């Protein structure tokens, strides 16, 4: 049974132009499941992601090359395919045989003008990544690298999603429970950000969202989850965070993910250095997300 969606489907009046990417590959089931959720919610979506798995490549960027003899990930394109290409029946689904940053750049600069009639994307979503990207992992993540590129270089607000559970899975396999739950949760966060109004995020800010473990017996329904405002990195010697939940120090992503229960961390990050933003911008994000936020016990 498909889990219910916490915030429901956006009215078409709130639909936005979205570019998607990741570092696990364009044919990975997590990104395709979110693509389907976003379309069902009425958004105008394009996907532009690596032809092959490119985890751990951070903000690397290089011109796309001809696909190797073994083809795209999950046999999604034949060996020797062009450096960039699209699904034969859906031009909104695109591969780029290079890094995540190169892929989202191609989506913004080349695919978006064609699909969006010359307009640029209003929001960039990366992931859900296969595996968490918390704390010191974030700077090395290609999923995070693509999100921060969208913010820093293209001026597009971005959210990077990552999930604890799962293994690489092809787009044409039965949808795993974790993939559907992560996609539904990602849609919930996206819906709240869009509903909060433009500008969707403060200047120079991206959101790092990490979902906990999902299994048949643990966190197996979206209605069990609570979103926690958090920090990307430790802040023992840094300036105070925004006041929230009776404290001027937000929990770290590690604190949230390792907490017993179904807690998802949402960290406002600085696109310049991929670390936690200042308290003033944290407060702006807090005000936008308050309707879906909880306090960590």
Does residue 151 lie in a domain region? yes
Q: Dig out the tokens for 63 from the structure.
A: 């011109």
Residue 174 has pLDDT above 90, yes or no: yes
Count other C-beta atoms under 10 Å from residue 96's C-beta: 27
136 lies in which domain range?
14-294
Instruction: Please check whether residue 42 is in contact with residue 9, taking contact to mean a CB–CB distance below 8 angstroms.
Output: yes
Q: Into how many domains does the chain fold? A: 1
Model confidence, pTM: 0.95
Q: 16: which residues sit within 8 A by CB, 6+ positions away?
A: 43, 44, 122, 123, 194
Does residue 279 lie in a domain region? yes
Greater pLDDT, 202 or 8: 202
Q: Dig out the tokens for 48 from the structure.
A: 């532009």
| pLDDT per residue as tens digits for the range 76-128 | 999 999 999 999 999 999 999 999 999 999 999 999 999 999 999 999 999 99
| pLDDT per residue as tens digits for the range 233-248 | 988 788 999 999 999 9
Does residue 7 lie in a domain region? no
| pLDDT per residue as tens digits for the range 267-280 | 999 999 999 999 99
| pLDDT per residue as tens digits for the range 222-231 | 999 999 999 9
> CB-based burial of residue 117 (10 Å sphere; 0-12 exposed, 13-18 middle, 19+ buried)?
exposed
| pLDDT per residue as tens digits for the range 47-65 | 999 999 999 999 999 999 9
Q: What is the helix (H) or strand (E) element at residue 95, kind and residue range?
A: strand 93-96
Per-residue pLDDT at 10: 44
Look up residue 139 and give its DSSP letter: G
Does residue 2 lie in a domain region? no
Nearest to 139 by CA among 56, 202, 209: 56
Q: Return mean pLDDT, the chain.
A: 95
Does residue 4 lie in a domain region? no
pLDDT band at 196 (very low <50, low <70, confident <90, very high): very high
> CB-based burial of residue 13 (10 Å sphere; 0-12 exposed, 13-18 middle, 19+ buried)?
exposed
Look up residue 216 and give its DSSP letter: S
Using the structure block, give the residue that is written with the tokens 């800010």.
205
Does residue 8 lie in a domain region? no
> What is the Rg, in whole angstroms, of the alpha carbon atoms belonging to the chain?
18
pLDDT band at 14 (very low <50, low <70, confident <90, very high): confident
Per-residue pLDDT at 259: 95
Q: Dig out the tokens for 38 from the structure.
A: 């976003």
Per-residue pLDDT at 9: 43
Per-residue pLDDT at 7: 45
| Residue 250, domain CATH | 3.40.1210.10
| pLDDT per residue as tens digits for the range 250-264 | 999 999 999 999 999
How far, in Å, CA of 131 to CA of 211, rounded?
9
Does residue 101 lie in a domain region? yes
Q: Dig out the tokens for 107 from the structure.
A: 């989506």
Nearest to 129 by CA among 143, 113, 150: 143
Q: Dig out the tokens for 193 from the structure.
A: 């950000």
Does residue 140 lie in a domain region? yes
| Residues 66-78, mean pLDDT to the nearest whole number | 97
| pLDDT per residue as tens digits for the range 128-172 | 999 999 989 999 999 999 999 999 999 999 999 999 999 999 999
Residue 201 has pLDDT above 60, yes or no: yes
How far, in Å, CA of 76 to CA of 249, rounded?
45
pLDDT band at 5 (very low <50, low <70, confident <90, very high): very low
Per-residue pLDDT at 237: 80
Q: Alpha helix locations (H) across 41-141?
A: 100-106, 112-115
Q: 24: which residues sit within 8 A by CB, 6+ positions away?
A: 30, 31, 49, 50, 53, 54, 55, 73, 129, 130, 143, 168
Indicate the SS3 state at residue 285: helix
Look up residue 295 and give its DSSP letter: -
How far, in Å, CA of 180 to CA of 161, rounded?
13
Per-residue pLDDT at 234: 87
């Amino acid at each position: 049974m498909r889990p219910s969606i916490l915030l429901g489907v956006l009215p078409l009046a709130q639909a936005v132009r979205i570019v998607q990417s990741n570092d696990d590959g364009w044919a990975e089931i997590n990104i395709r499941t979110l693509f389907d959720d976003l379309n069902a919610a009425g958004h105008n979506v394009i996907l532009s992601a690596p032809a092959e798995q490119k985890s751990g490549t951070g903000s690397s960027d290089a011109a796309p090359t001809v696909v190797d003899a073994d083809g795209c990930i999950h046999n999604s394109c034949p060996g020797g395919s062009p450096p960039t290409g699209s699904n034969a029946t859906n031009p909104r689904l695109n591969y780029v045989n290079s890094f995540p940053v190169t892929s989202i750049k191609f989506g913004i600069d080349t695919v978006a003008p064609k699909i969006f009639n010359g307009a640029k994307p209003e929001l960039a979503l990366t992931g859900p990544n296969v595996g968490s990207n918390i704390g010191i992992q974030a700077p090395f993540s290609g999923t995070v690298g693509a999100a921060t590129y969208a913010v820093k270089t293209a001026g597009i607000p971005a959210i990077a999603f990552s999930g604890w559970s799962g293994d690489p899975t092809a787009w044409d396999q039965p949808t795993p429970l974790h993939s559907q739950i992560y996609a539904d949760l990602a849609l919930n966060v996206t819906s709240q950000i869009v509903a909060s109004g433009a500008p969707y995020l403060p200047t120079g800010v991206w959101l790092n969202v990490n979902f906990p473990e999902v299994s048949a017996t643990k966190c197996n329904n979206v209605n069990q989850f609570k979103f926690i405002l958090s920090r990307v990195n430790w802040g023992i010697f840094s300036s105070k965070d925004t006041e929230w939940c009776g404290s001027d120090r937000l929990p770290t992503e590690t604190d949230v993910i390792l907490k017993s229960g179904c807690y998802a961390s949402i960290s406002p990050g600085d696109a310049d250095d991929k670390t936690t933003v200042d308290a003033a911008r944290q407060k702006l994000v807090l005000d936008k997300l308050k309707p879906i936020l909880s306090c960590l016990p």
